[in-house]
Amino acid sequence: MADTEIFICAADQIQEGGKGVRFPVTAFGEDCTAFVVRFANQPRAYLNRCAHVPMELDWNEGDFFESGGEFLMCATHGALYEPTTGRCAGGPCRGGKLHPLKVIEHDNQLFWMPDETVRPVRA
């Protein structure tokens, strides 16, 4: 399972600073979502769970960036995160961090790799 690549979407579905793509995962034993966005020309994937309060970040499906396109933002309480690291950049997340997922881009497709806590959705 450690080397399993799981398809997310076609690479051109995510544009620099644009809408992200949500995908189902099982994290910490619970079914939830993760997301992938493109920032600094690289795909970045995180568990869709705010470090402040465990709620999904996007206010409309796939809308993860704040209006300036520089930070990922939790729509509920305004916590801001650096897209490259997932670290809190402002707001109520105070030192928190988004849970990153390893994402791979090849053959014009995006894939994610499971880790110890985030796995494919349970059957």
CATH of the domain at 106: 2.102.10.10
Q: What is the mean pLDDT of residues 69-85?
A: 94
pLDDT at 123 over 70: no
Provide CB contacts within 8 A for 113, sequence distance 6+: 2, 3, 4, 5, 6, 101, 102, 103, 104
Q: For residue range 17-76, what is the model confidence (pLDDT) as tens digits?
A: 999 999 999 998 899 999 999 999 999 999 999 998 889 999 899 999 999 999 999 999
The answer to whether position 1 is within a domain reads no
Give the per-residue pLDDT at 115.
92
Chain-wide mean pLDDT for the chain? 93
The answer to whether position 70 is within a domain reads yes
Q: What is the mean pLDDT of residues 109-113?
A: 97
Any bridge partners for residue 43, and if so which?
38
pTM metric for this prediction: 0.94
The answer to whether position 78 is within a domain reads yes
Q: Name the percent of the chain in helix, strand, coil, to the closest 5.
A: 0, 45, 55
Percent of the chain scoring above 90 in pLDDT: 83
Q: Which residue has the higher pLDDT, 4 or 34?
A: 34
In the structure, what pLDDT confidence band is assigned to residue 2 with cuts at 50, 70 and 90?
Answer: low
The whole domain housing 66 covers 6-119
Give the per-residue pLDDT at 53.
84
Domain count, the chain: 1
The answer to whether position 34 is within a domain reads yes
Return the beta strands (E) in 1-123 as ranges.
Answer: 6-10, 21-27, 30-39, 42-47, 72-73, 80-81, 88-90, 100-106, 109-113, 118-119
The answer to whether position 79 is within a domain reads yes
The answer to whether position 115 is within a domain reads yes
